[in-house]
């Protein structure tokens, strides 16, 4: 057999054996390690995995070799070089050491030289680690790097193998087939890894474009959160059209807000959701998946929905609802789950930003109204006239009234914060009521019966004072006899209710229906609708105000807020009568 025929035969067999390399490359591309390789440093466990994985690949390169002239024509360098690309010089050398030791145990006059050569190939691959991580190494570059590594291996065989004549003869026969086969194997391995990574990036880019497109088209429909059913319904139809899901549902914490797609003939808005995975998502705040019709849990026998991804909708750190993407007649993929999670995250951010914008608008309006109401000439002139009258009859009383008026204005005119302690809010109430009582004497009475433990509860600023003001102006003043206002509290687990009750003239039934509607009470201080809207925007739709009233008997307003507190700096009792 001629030298050319021998080299051709060796090359053919080595290239044929590279099928194992392709298999290893495919297995690696499917691992979670590879998916995060380009984006995060490797942990110690992941580095150990690389050494074991590519150590086996390098050793396999020896098993897949061809025995010739007391040596082995092999593809062992593929594992060492690619390990260096992925893990750096140390990983490359360690893998080369594993492959080299295995080769050394097989003996032969090139055993030591081959062991050193494999380690050198791993080191060479490691020198290009940063370039590979930055995706600057393609199949062409990696072929050249592999060829250089194999040429150096051939030189090492000549230097360290004896007799030298046999080493030269061996290299003349195996060098070209080994250089081509190993370089091609390295190039093929890198090509597979790069193609998988590019495909992953394309999928992520497509998801990102789709998610942003959905966000842009639905932004106007979530300005009111989940409260506006028709708007949410329209948003669900857009999501259905864009994602290709079989059906889309949007829920709050208890019921379906909107449903679009297959199954809409029996999945109706307003009904409680039945899927256990939805409850799991609401409770845990994580994406949940139902992969079978049984897990979906629809009681309608012919319901076409067979799988669902449920992703949480969050704002203010709380789960307020869920987005559900249903599918029929096919299994859920990781892409479906990732897409649902991406859309829900963007929608949550969208709702949060809308709520913050509305909250800022309401706060500005509340502060402006508070400013206008409290510097109302009638209130100011009446207070000053009262103080003036006391300067003659009771100077000490006049002094106290002046201090109260000053403190009242300081509180109401300060910018403050969205939330203040109940103690601060009650202080403002007491100052206001003290000034009004100075004018009307025993006609007014305020009883505050709130245990000291609740004084650190946080509530929106300008919450209680408007209610007391409304009770005085519209409940007590129209009476011709003594009026009383009670301020009390009750709590239930993580909810606190502040109750403002008066024995005034009450509110007619028709007017009572309008009091909490937007815009009612404009021009007369902070309307109660504004107070309720601010509470809902800060804490969520399940909080706010409720009112009950009976003509000639009185009115009761209940403020419902979450029980969240701050540490108090003072410890004074708050049971008092004014």
**Domain residue limits, the chain:** 3-203, 224-351, 416-577
Evaluate whether 260 touches 240 at the Cβ level (below 8 Å): yes
Evaluate whether 176 touches 7 at the Cβ level (below 8 Å): yes
pLDDT of residue 184: 92
Distance CA 366, CA 420 (A): 15
Over the chain (578 residues), what is each successive 10-residue block's mean pLDDT?
65 78 76 65 86 92 90 93 93 96 94 96 93 83 95 96 94 92 91 80 72 74 70 88 89 90 90 84 90 85 89 84 86 80 81 70 58 55 82 83 80 65 90 85 89 90 85 85 91 90 89 72 59 81 89 92 65 43
- Angle at Cα 485 formed by Cα 422 and Cα 407, nearest 5°? 50
pLDDT of residue 5: 62
pLDDT of residue 71: 92
CATH numeric code, 224-351? 3.30.450.40
CATH of 416-577, one of 3.40.50.300, 3.40.50.10090, 3.30.565.10, 3.40.640.10: 3.30.565.10
Distance CA 138, CA 140 (A): 5
Give me the helices (H) in 375-394, please: 377-393
Distance CA 320, CA 312 (A): 8
CATH 1.10.1760.20 fits 3-203, yes or no: yes
Evaluate whether 64 touches 78 at the Cβ level (below 8 Å): no
Distance CA 115, CA 104 (A): 6
Residue 523, Cβ neighbours under 10 Å: how many?
Answer: 8
Residue identified by tokens 């301020």 is: 487
Q: How far is CA 166 from CA 74, 158, 175, 377, 508, in A?
A: 18, 9, 14, 112, 113
For 395-424, give one letter per residue: b (16+ CB within 10 A) or e. eeebeebbebbeebbebbeeeeeebbbbbb
Q: Is 285 helix (H, G, I), strand (E, B) or coil?
A: coil
Q: What does the block give as tokens for 515?
A: 């009091």
Integer Rg of the chain from CA: 39
List the end-to-end C-alpha distance of the chain, in Å, as a whole number. Answer: 117
Q: Sort residue 458 into left (φ over 0), alpha (ψ -120 to 50) or beta.
A: beta
């Amino acid at each position: 057999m001629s030298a050319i025929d021998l080299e051709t035969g060796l090359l053919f067999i080595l290239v044929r054996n590279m099928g194992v390399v392709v298999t290893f490359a495919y297995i690696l591309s499917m691992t979670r390690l590879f998916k995060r390789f380009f984006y995060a440093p490797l942990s110690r466990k992941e580095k150990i995995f690389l050494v074991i994985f590519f150590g086996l690949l390098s050793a396999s390169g020896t098993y897949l070799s061809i025995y010739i002239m007391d040596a082995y024509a092999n593809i062992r360098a593929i594992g060492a070089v690619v390990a260096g690309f992925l893990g750096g010089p140390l990983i490359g050398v360690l893998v080369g050491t594993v492959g080299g030791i295995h080769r050394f145990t097989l003996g032969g006059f090139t055993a030591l030289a081959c062991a050193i050569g494999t380690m050198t190939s791993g080191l060479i691959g490691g020198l290009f680690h940063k370039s590979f991580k930055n995706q600057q190494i393609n199949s062409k570059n990696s072929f050249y790097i592999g060829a250089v590594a194999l040429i150096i291996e051939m030189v090492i065989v000549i230097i360290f193998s004896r007799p030298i004549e046999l080493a030269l003869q061996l290299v003349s026969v195996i060098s070209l087939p080994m250089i081509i086969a190993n370089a091609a194997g390295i190039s093929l391995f890198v090509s597979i890894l790069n193609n998988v990574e590019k495909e992953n990036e394309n999928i992520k880019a497509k998801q990102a474009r789709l998610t942003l497109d959905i966000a842009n088209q639905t932004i106007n429909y979530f300005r009111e959160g989940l409260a506006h059913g028709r708007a949410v319904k329209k948003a669900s139809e857009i999501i259905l059209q864009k994602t290709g899901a079989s059906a889309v549902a949007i829920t709050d914490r208890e019921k379906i807000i909107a449903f679009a797609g297959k199954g809409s003939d029996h999945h109706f808005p307003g009904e409680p959701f039945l899927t256990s995975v939805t409850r799991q998502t609401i409770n845990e705040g994580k994406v949940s998946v139902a992969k079978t019709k049984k897990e979906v849990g629809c009681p309608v026998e012919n319901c076409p929905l067979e799988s669902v991804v449920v992703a949480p909708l969050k704002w203010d750190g709380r789960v307020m609802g869920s987005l559900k993407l249903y599918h029929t007649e096919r299994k859920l993929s990781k892409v479906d789950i990732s897409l649902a999670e991406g859309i829900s995250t963007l929608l949550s951010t969208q709702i949060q930003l809308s709520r913050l914008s509305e909250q800022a608008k309401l706060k500005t309006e509340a502060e402006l109204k508070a400013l206008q109401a409290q510097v109302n000439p009638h209130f100011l002139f009446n207070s000053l006239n009262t103080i003036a009258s006391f300067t003659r009859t009771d100077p000490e009383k006049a002094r106290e009234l002046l201090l109260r008026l000053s403190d009242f204005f300081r509180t109401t005119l300060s910018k403050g914060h969205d939330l203040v302690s109940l103690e601060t809010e009650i202080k403002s109430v007491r100052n206001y009521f003290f000034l009004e009582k100075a004018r009307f004497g025993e006609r007014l009475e305020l009883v505050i019966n709130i245990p000291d433990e609740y004084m650190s509860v946080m509530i929106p600023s300008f919450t209680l004072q408007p209610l007391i003001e409304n009770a005085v102006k519209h409940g007590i003043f129209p009476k011709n006899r003594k009026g009383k206002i009670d301020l009390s509290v009750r709590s239930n687990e993580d909810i606190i209710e502040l109750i403002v009750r008066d024995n005034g003239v009450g509110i007619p039934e028709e007017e009572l229906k309008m009091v909490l509607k937007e815009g009612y009470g404009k021009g007369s201080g902070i309307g109660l609708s504004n107070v309720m809207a601010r509470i809902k925007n800060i804490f969520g739709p399940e909080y706010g105000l409720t009112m009950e009233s009976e003509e000639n008997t009185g009115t009761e307003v209940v403020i419902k807020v979450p029980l969240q507190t701050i540490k108090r700096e003072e410890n004074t009792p708050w049971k008092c009568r004014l």
